Amino acid sequence: MVSIRLMRMGAKKRPFYRVIVTDSRSPRESKYKESLGYYNPLKEPAEIKIDLDRLSYWLERGAQASETVQSLIKQVAKRSHHSNNIKT
Model pLDDT, residue 84: 63
Model pLDDT, residue 86: 54
Secondary structure (DSSP) of 43-69: SSSPEEEE-HHHHHHHHHTT-EE-HHH
Q: What residue ranges do the domains of the chain occupy? A: 2-87
CB neighbour class for 17 (10 Å; exposed up to 12, middle 13-18, buried from 19): buried
Q: Alpha-carbon distance 34 to 83, whole Å?
A: 27
The superfamily in CATH containing domain 2-87 is Ribosomal protein S16 (3.30.1320.10)
The radius of gyration computed from the CA coordinates of the chain, to the nearest angstrom, equals 14
Model pLDDT, residue 30: 80
Mean pLDDT of the chain: 89
* pLDDT beneath 70: ranges in the chain: 82-88
Q: Alpha-carbon distance 48 to 78, whole Å?
A: 12
